[in-house]
Amino acid sequence: MLSERLARLIGCLGIKKVEFAAKIGFTQSYISKILGEEKISPSSRFFDKVCRVFHVNSEWLRDGTGEMFDIPGAGESADDSLLIKYRLLPKPEQKIVEEIVDAMLFRNMNKKDRD
């Protein structure tokens, strides 16, 4: 359902409904109606704005097919796609990803030494 996909998107973005609404030029009330599963059919302008502002895949938003985000170059190989996504992250979040990868590598190296 659209309400579930929209809630998931807002959660992934890590923003509040009011901020989400402001960024796309709609009211928080309008967003709440969609999230509340009221029988509301969002306008084409709503879908267009969400997809453009947040780089959301329109097919995913409309009917749940495909990936959530429409990331340029993501159709490349898995390695290229991951690198493109990493480069789109803000620097502080890139640092977090690097720390997680370092911890995973360290854990796996220690595991190999014990085997």
What pLDDT is recorded for position 58?
A: 93
Q: Which residues of the chain have a pLDDT value below 50?
A: none
What pLDDT is recorded for position 115?
A: 61
What pLDDT is recorded for position 91?
A: 86
DSSP 41-90: ---HHHHHHHHHHHTB-HHHHHHS-S-SB--TTTTS-HHHHHHHHHHHS-
What pLDDT is recorded for position 114?
A: 65
Instruction: Report yes or no on whether pTM surpasses 0.75.
Output: no
What pLDDT is recorded for position 106?
A: 86
Cβ atoms 60, 66 nearer than 8 A: yes
Tell me the C-alpha distance between 75 and 43, whole Å: 29
What pLDDT is recorded for position 80?
A: 65
Q: Which amino acid makes up residue 113?
A: D
